[in-house]
């Protein structure tokens, strides 16, 4: 392997350990829930999920699960009011 590629791999390892370098702008994922499969999307800092709970509350176990997985890689988003949770 050439030295140029070795340098790139070293940099990739460092980037992969520094999650605050990465921010998701938009994506769509399929999440297999206990009862059915849901499509969750994230765009312009806003979540969307096709489940009924999200339609009523604007947050659900599926979006919260992805927030836990992605952590600092998500831009800061406003949290729901505590009274609405
Ligand atoms: Zn959901």
Calculate how far, in angstroms, residue 7's C-alpha sits from the geometric centre of ligand 1: 42
pLDDT attached to residue 1 = 82
Centroid of ligand 1 to alpha carbon of 38 (angstroms): 6
How large a percentage of the chain has pLDDT more than 90?
74
* Integer Cα distance of 24 and 74 in angstroms: 6
Residues 28-48, mean pLDDT to the nearest whole number: 96
CA–centroid distance, 60 to ligand 1, in Å, is 5
Distance (Å) from CA 9 to ligand 1 centroid: 37
- The strand pairing partners of 43, in sequence order, are 26, 46
Distance 22 CA to ligand 1 centre (A): 24
Q: Is 31 helix (H, G, I), strand (E, B) or coil?
A: strand
């Amino acid at each position: 392997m050439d030295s140029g590629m070795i340098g790139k791999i070293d940099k990739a390892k460092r980037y992969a350990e520094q999650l605050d370098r990465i921010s998701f702008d938009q994506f769509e994922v399929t999440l297999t829930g206990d009862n059915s499969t849901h499509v969750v999307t994230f765009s312009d800092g806003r979540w969307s999920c096709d489940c009924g709970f999200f339609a009523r509350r604007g947050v659900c176990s599926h979006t919260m699960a992805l927030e836990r997985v992605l952590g600092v890689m998500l831009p800061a988003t406003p949290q729901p009011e505590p009274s609405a949770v």
